[in-house]
Amino acid sequence: MEILFRADSVEKRFVNHLALDNVSIHVPKNSIYGLLGPNGAGKTTLIRIINQITAPDKGGLFFNGQKLRPQDIYRIGYLPEERGLYKKMKVGEQALYLARLKGLSKNDALEKLRYWFDKFEVRPWWNKKIEELSKGMQQKVQFIVTVLHQPELLIFDEPFSGFDPINTNLIKKEILNLRDQGATVIFSTHNMGSVEELCDHITLINDSRTLLEGNIRDIRNNYKANTFELEYTGESEKLDELQDHAFEIIENKKTAEGNIAKVKLNNTRSGNDFLNQILPHVEVRSFKEIIPGMNEIFIKVVGESVSNIEQKSEKYLTKS
């Protein structure tokens, strides 16, 4: 797995606040990498460091195996959560200006802008001021100027903010297209559904520290709890009677088509063993393992982290 960008043991402190504490990320080339965490976790600080807006106090940053250099900023596209378009400037004039700042010639910039403005259906607003556009239209313009110079690394911080569902799907499709065309994406969001839909790898940060990093499929499988969803017909009471030390019924409810139960097996019991036990008594319509979603994992891991911090604080206060 070839790494396009990595940050090694990055630390950043602001006055008395430790924003990043020994944080590392390894972003594979041609992947979508989720940078996750609650508000105040340190995500935006790390993004600003990658964009060389601020510098780390400790740690190393590497782009394509080489130490990150000031000129590498031309190989990065950054869409910040707080958008920064000039309200009084005309749309086309501003887009052209920002494209030139990224190193494009005027002719190349105009050609690419025409393509993207037509694709996103914003060409009629070329001579309008930014303040005359809806928030969603402004977001489209900001997205365009972020990707226009075809950077190797794209950083999107809450890219769907301000979009309706139709335009959200449009942006999602374009992010996937950009990855398929060779770009690498760092994607920061609170929407765990989008993380599961788009991301290949993630890092979860909380309270300035890395809590979780890796392939999203591996992470979800690592948090499995040997829990299954059973859809069946027959007497739900009979399933309750069969319950023993080998399995526990967490939930058992009737539906219009039959019954659905959530069942937890002990670590020595396989799904086949369980089915062999119940098949003489109920008719099984479906049986599938429950793989936890990223939202569930996010809440669990962050919750455990907060609990550990609180326990350490209590011990410190007790000793004091």
Residue 258 sits in a domain whose CATH number is 3.30.70
Is 310 inside any structural domain? Answer: no
pLDDT at position 302 over 60: yes
145 with 253, same domain: the answer is no
Q: What share of the chain in percent tops pLDDT 90?
A: 57
97 with 232, same domain: the answer is no
- Torsion sign over Cα 143, 155, 83, 193: positive
- 195, 221, 247 — which closes off a domain? 221
Going by C-alpha positions, the residue among 189, 190, 184 that lies closest to residue 77 is 184
Name the domain count of the chain: 2
158 with 245, same domain: the answer is no
61 with 141, same domain: the answer is yes
18 with 147, same domain: the answer is yes
In this structure, what token pair is assigned to residue 226? 């040997």
pLDDT at position 205 over 50: yes
245 with 204, same domain: the answer is no
176 with 46, same domain: the answer is yes
25 with 46, same domain: the answer is yes
**What digits encode the pLDDT tens for the residues 254-264?**
888 889 999 99
Is 135 inside any structural domain? Answer: yes
Q: Tell me which residue range forms the domain holding 31.
A: 3-221
Laid out side by side, the sheet with 66-67 consists of 17-28, 3-14, 58-63, 66-67
151 with 254, same domain: the answer is no
Residue 243's pLDDT band, with cuts at 50, 70 and 90, is confident
Q: What's the pLDDT at 317?
A: 44
